Amino acid sequence: MANRTLAAGDLAVHAATLAAGTEDVVTFAEADDYVLLVHPGTSAPVYVSHKTVTVGDADSRVVFPGFALDLGPQAAEAAVHVISAEAATYSVERA
């Protein structure tokens, strides 16, 4: 598990490496009106939730390789959880 922070003033957490079957947690240091999670790779899909997530979790959003997910507004100190069945790369960006 990796804990990452989208720090105040930073635009993104770029090219975060996700270990297979291991959840990452990305915390937002400040509130954002628009946040995007990008899965640029060719691996298995990544699953995203605002709570602990497992691969294929029915309460999560799925992001297929080459696509992005609009996470919408995020409160300060909010967090998203990301997991995949395979090693994957993802980025979290604010507008």
Q: What is the pLDDT of residue 45?
A: 96
Length of the chain: 95
Domains observed in the chain: 2-94 (2.60.120)
Q: What is the pLDDT of residue 6?
A: 94
Distance CA 2, CA 24 (A): 5
Q: Mean pLDDT in runs of 10 for the chain (95 residues)?
A: 93 94 96 94 92 96 96 94 96 91
C-alpha torsion angle, residues 8, 13, 19, 25 (rounded to 10) = 30
Global pTM value: 0.92
